[in-house]
Structure 1
């Protein structure tokens, strides 16, 4: 196999996998279950073997990716329609701590040791089991916890503090480039941005590296010369 053919097959395989991951959604990354892990592993193996096999052409590579992707898509579609099939493929969440008591049978069923449970708890900034009221082992292996009231973080309502609404910040300039989509989302224009930056003491837009804006907080601005000073 020549370098030119190898490069072409790698490029086609790369964009095929990229398209595949976009079509099946974001669960492959954000909620990686055992089924998702096996699917991604097999997909990588199919592509790798196809690329480095001299007898396998580009058509077979695309065919292998398409068939495997179609199978995963069908399974996901059926899982959305059938709760039984969904549980069969992805499993069920398990209640491993209930009312402060560790369920040893649930740990045994999920092949989870006490030490592994403590590690998962420490990932949640919990260093003592006594602080936990309920803990659920999710299908992707992560742990969701509910602390006991005496160990829970107080809220503003608990402290009788005034509640102020918060909006999402918008990044208006990134890497020195004005993001017009962000300006449109907050119903502002580029001329408005330049005018506001001048009011903030930044008349030279070419020196701006990053601008974040939130209605209740105003602007957060980083200049390019600030970066050079920090480095």
Structure 2
């Protein structure tokens, strides 16, 4: 009975945290700020207390999660509407390399040493700090890099490559299941798709692991199991 109770509490806690995360939006994952990090720690502690502390019921934890979600949502709305408080809650990007020169004061302010800076730069494909014209330490701890002119990647305009329209590839079959909305969005019907598959010796959708229509190339890419 004790294990059943534990499973119930874990399930309810997981569902509540998942629902709260869906309501608050994807930025909770994509841009982890110091405030978001604190929130994650507190929410995890709440669920942990409900599981291992007999005096803390799951209803108290759900109430605490609800109150915490309201606080987080209120602060998110406040930071969107009041620009002056946004920097305090979310932090501000810092220019750590300015016009090719490393800003030691900016590194010191952000508790970043040269080894860490080199690591972040290598993740962006810059193996020498001398290649960087500007480097900005973002609020989530990542580094945005603008290389010097001679180290930058040439564009198609620089290479005089003729313009060609770019279209987003459209998945038509995923794990043997037909994506009807995507098929119609691409401008085709099932008869067309079946003919395309038949030309490759495929008779059923279930044989296909992944199928993708590339409009810019006019090709159907198919991978079977």
TM-score range, shorter chain: over 0.9
Distance change >3 Å, CA 153–CA 116, structure 1 → 2:
same
Distance change >3 Å, CA 204–CA 2, structure 1 → 2:
closer
Give the deviation of 1:201 after TM superposition.
Answer: 4.1
Tell me how far apart the structure 1 counterparts of residues 166 and 203 of structure 2 sit (CA, whole Å). Answer: 29
Tell me how far apart the structure 2 counterparts of residues 206 and 176 of structure 1 sit (CA, whole Å). Answer: 4
Tell me how far apart the structure 2 counterparts of residues 190 and 61 of structure 1 sit (CA, whole Å). Answer: 50
In structure 2, the residue matched to 1:4 is 4
The equivalences for 1:176-215 within 5 A come to 176-215=176-215
Tell me how far apart the structure 1 counterparts of residues 178 and 62 of structure 2 sit (CA, whole Å). Answer: 38
The equivalences for 1:158-169 within 5 A come to 158-169=158-169
> Conserved in 1, the CA contact under 8 Å of 2:213 and 2:220?
yes
Tell me how far apart the structure 1 counterparts of residues 205 and 19 of structure 2 sit (CA, whole Å). Answer: 37
Tell me how far apart the structure 2 counterparts of residues 99 and 165 of structure 1 sit (CA, whole Å). Answer: 35
In structure 1, the residue matched to 2:142 is 142
> Conserved in 2, the CA contact under 8 Å of 1:132 and 1:145?
yes
User: Would you identify which runs of 4 or more consecutive aligned residues in structure 1 move more than 4 Å?
Assistant: none
> Conserved in 1, the CA contact under 8 Å of 2:178 and 2:205?
no
In structure 2, the residue matched to 1:85 is 85
Residue deviations 1:153-191, cap 9 Å, x none? Answer: 001100111121111111111111111232233233223
The equivalences for 1:24-63 within 5 A come to 24-63=24-63
Superposition TM-score, scaled by structure 1 size: 0.92
Give the deviation of 1:147 after TM superposition.
Answer: 0.7
Tell me how far apart the structure 1 counterparts of residues 91 and 205 of structure 2 sit (CA, whole Å). Answer: 53
Tell me how far apart the structure 2 counterparts of residues 159 and 78 of structure 1 sit (CA, whole Å). Answer: 47
Q: How many residues align?
A: 224
Q: Unmatched 5+ residue regions in structure 2?
A: none
In structure 2, the residue matched to 1:173 is 173
> Conserved in 2, the CA contact under 8 Å of 1:51 and 1:61?
no
Residue deviations 1:192-212, cap 9 Å, x none? Answer: 211222234434444222111
Give the deviation of 1:80 after TM superposition.
Answer: 0.5
